[in-house]
Structure formats: C-alpha cells, structure tokens
Structure 1
C-alpha cells in the first residue's frame, strides 16, 4: 500500500528523499515525485508548492498517477490558538478553508457540496500520527531551544487547522481571522495554505488523510523574520523525525 508524504517546501520534507531505498525520480504535472522504500513501506514523496490549487493538483496526481492509498502532509504553520507556541506541533483533527465564502448562497466557510465548513481527517491515521509526533517530541526534548523566541518544552496539540491562499503575517490579520472563526464556533489552532485542499481531494477519492504542522511563527508581525531560519534549522528535522516515527508505527 503506497503512502504519499506531501509537503509544500523542500525544508518541510526534511532529508526523506536522501533516505529512500531504490529511489526513482518521476516528472509529472510539472512536479518532481520520488518513489521508493522507506522504513519498510512503499512511499512516494512530493513537493506541491505553496497554495491550495498547487496542493490539490499534486494530491490528485498522487491518487491518479501514483496510486497512493494514504496521504500525510508535513509542514509548518502559523500558530493562532491560545497556548500554541513556536516549536510546538499541531496534528490536524479537522480543517476549514478560511478564505471560502460562497455566501449568501451558502453559509460563510462552507465548501459547496460537502455539507459544512469543516472536514475531518482520518481518525485512525491521525491517531497514529499523534503517537508518532508525541514520541518524537519526547525524544528531542529541548534540542532546538536556541532557535525558539521563548525556549520551552515543545507541546503537542490536536484540533482544527485553517487553510487559505494567504500568508497571515500581521497581528491584526491573525486576530481578525481567529476572532471571526471563533465567533462561529471554529476554534482554530493554526493557519497554513495547503492542508484543507489535500483533505478535500482525499475525501473525493476516499483516501485516508492526516497532517502534522510544526509551528514556525505566531502568524503576526514577526512571521516574515522567523520563518526562513526556522524552516531550515528546525522544521526539516521535525519532518524527518515525525515521518520516520509514523512509518515505524504503521
């Protein structure tokens, strides 16, 4: 059963390509895919690029061209929930598209044809991903404290993540986004730009999907400063470690 590991940026993929056994590079749909074996599993690794359309195109290719039967997204996100700090990890339980608005025909945030604004990740795969992330965080402890604005023991969170085609990088935008969603009962922990689109594709194809996001910034006025250094020094190692823990549990 082929497992797809999907990320937006090379740093979010870690060194997984270099670790592949019998690697095969495939060019398809203007993207590079890598097939091979990792920790005893058939896997395909892909970089989708940034944004929901790019993510959906790549996820569709993984289902159609590469026969993926499970998809896992690993990457970074901006923390917007209370107590979600830089260096923490959020495993998605659900997704909402914060830039979806087909009102007044449909309620705000509802994806037409899907019966509501929120979509669930696969419960079984997500539970395994939670165990993997927990094991990794316990193992690394305070190893990355020097890269965190406020050194602390990284915490693991599970809950709602919001996706949209916007890099939320000011405190005002972050507060408005969280406030609007919270007022409607959507307690968002983190914000990013791809996961909800991949989940929608997986729902269409009936494929289990799970996502893990390392918090790289607080989606505020310091986001553009924190992001490049964090993804290089911390996020790539988190991606590597969590995915390897996940595959060991599958």
Structure 2
C-alpha cells in the first residue's frame, strides 16, 4: 500500500512546475504574529528544510497554512488531510539545522521530524528529480546515524525514481564532478547535502523519530556554478537577490546559470512536495523501530 501510494503521488508530479509569487510570501512573513509556545498548534510531523525555495512546493499542499513565530523562528502550520503538519526553514548547514530541530522538539514535541530538501547525486544511477530515502547518514569524519527504513530493496527498486542509500553531510557546497565522484567512492554514500546528520543526531538525543527525504537537484556528472556558494550563504531573500544581482553585474554570462538554477529549483520543489504528500501520512509504516 505504501509504495503504491508513493508511486501514484510521485509520478503525478513529474514535469509540473508552480510559478511562485515572492511578494505574497514576503507579505505573509510580515503579517506573522509572535505566538507563545503554549499557543502553537501541535503538529504531528515537522518537516525541516534549509531554504524557502526547497519548502515552497510542500507549503502549497497544506490546507489553511498559517505562519507563526516560535521564539523568533517562523513555523508554517497547516493540515494535510487529518494530520497537522509543521514546516520549518532552518537555514543552511549543520549548526542552523541542529539548533532549529532542538527548538522544535523542545517546544512542539512532534512525533516525527522529516529532514527534506535538495541533494547532489554522488553515483551515476541517480538522475535529477530522483528521490532518495536515506537509510543512514554520515560525515567525512565518520560520525554516523542509521535510519531504519521499513522498505525492502525490492520495493524501492520497483518504484520508478526512488532510491535508498546513505547520505553524506558536509559543510560546504560540493561543486565539481571530480570531488563528487571521490566522495561517493570514499565514503560509500549516494548523495550529499548539508543538514541531515545534525538533524538525525538531535533526534537520536531527544528520542524523536525521523526520516530523511531528499530530491536530487544535480547529478554526479553535473558541476555547479562557482557563484552558487555565495548565493547560498545569504541569510535572507533580499540578501540572495542582492548577491545574484552582483553576480550578474560582475559576470553577465551567469544570467543563464541563474535562470537554470531557478527553473531546476522550482521543479525539484514541486516533485519533492508530491512525494512528501504521499509519505508523510504513512510515516509509521515507513520507518521501523531501531533494533
């Protein structure tokens, strides 16, 4: 049942793109009220993304989505069928993600944390738009947390566009094909991102269930633009727009890169949202208890 539902929801999203209104989002942020912790609706599941560009597609799936302030951090709370869902944008990197998840667990105490967002492929089998459900996550130094998926390898292989394997959490963007291949081979991992290990470690410490769902935004054979790290380092939307403008001014040829990145990100966000819409209501079936 789980895999049928995942497949039907995931494949339905292939090739779909939603045009997003930045002004509407900014107005919603300005209208967000400060809410006392005891007054925050208690989500069953909190999905943690690093950036708004990653979370945008899933936010659009929630019914009656309402942004509230939780000790200075915005949490979007809405309904997905009968389930109350929270969405948090932690910021990029382990430190930001770990701190955000610790606050979420301490204040909201959800049953589940889902680490979601984009990832770079490190093996040739993963194509852009494929979804990775991680069965574990590690870093270069060897710290590791297992995520015991309740799905067999046969089920995963039978689901088009779905893969499982170990993630590598790093502290900087991995741009070049050479480094991608090297990391995949050295560490036995399938994809790279910047937050999941910290999230998994906090969940382990706090005895909170977690799942990782990442969509491949760039394959092992696709180098990333050299300006991307500067853009990702910005803390606000206005900062990112300013950095993009400066990049275009200094390197006019980067306009094509920016356009491609924006188009890719919107498509990836929509596809990831479709997958999450299928799996979030069935989290209790997706991950088994630790042995």
Aligned length: 207
Preserved CA contact (<8 Å) 2:83 2:281: no
CA distance in 2, matches of 1:43, 1:63: 14
Per the alignment, do residues 53 and 219 of structure 1 end up closer, same or farther by CA in structure 2, a change over 3 Å counting? farther
Q: Match of 1:170?
A: 176
TM-fit CA distance, 1:215: 0.8
**Secondary structure at 1:60's aligned position in 2?**
helix
After superposition, the C-alpha distances for 1:116-156 in whole angstroms (9 at most, x for unaligned) are: x32111434xx49x98x999xx7xxxxxxxxxxxxxxx631
CA distance in 1, matches of 2:65, 2:185: 46
Per the alignment, do residues 7 and 76 of structure 1 end up closer, same or farther by CA in structure 2, a change over 3 Å counting? same
Q: Match of 1:118?
A: 144
Preserved CA contact (<8 Å) 1:168 1:219: no
Q: Match of 2:52?
A: 10
After superposition, the C-alpha distances for 1:27-82 in whole angstroms (9 at most, x for unaligned) are: 23442102232221121111111111111011111101111121112211100023
CA distance in 2, matches of 1:54, 1:165: 11
Equivalent in 121, 134, 143 of residue 92 of structure 1: 134
TM-fit CA distance, 1:194: 0.7
TM-score by length of 2: 0.64
CA distance in 2, matches of 1:221, 1:93: 24
Q: Match of 1:218?
A: 219
Q: Match of 1:206?
A: 207
**Secondary structure at 2:109's aligned position in 1?**
coil
CA distance in 1, matches of 2:68, 2:157: 33
TM-score by length of 1: 0.73
TM-fit CA distance, 1:96: 0.4
TM-fit CA distance, 1:220: 5.6
Q: Hey, which of these two has a bigger chunk of helix by percent?
A: 2
From the CA coordinates, give the structure whose radius of gyration is larger.
2
Preserved CA contact (<8 Å) 2:48 2:114: yes
After superposition, the C-alpha distances for 1:134-189 in whole angstroms (9 at most, x for unaligned) are: 99xx7xxxxxxxxxxxxxxx6311011100111000122223322332xxxxx210
Structure 1: segments with no counterpart, 5+ residues: 101-108, 110-116, 139-153, 182-186
Per the alignment, do residues 23 and 175 of structure 1 end up closer, same or farther by CA in structure 2, a change over 3 Å counting? closer
Q: Match of 2:62?
A: 20
Per the alignment, do residues 42 and 174 of structure 1 end up closer, same or farther by CA in structure 2, a change over 3 Å counting? same
Structure 2: segments with no counterpart, 5+ residues: 1-42, 226-256, 284-291
Per the alignment, do residues 13 and 81 of structure 1 end up closer, same or farther by CA in structure 2, a change over 3 Å counting? same
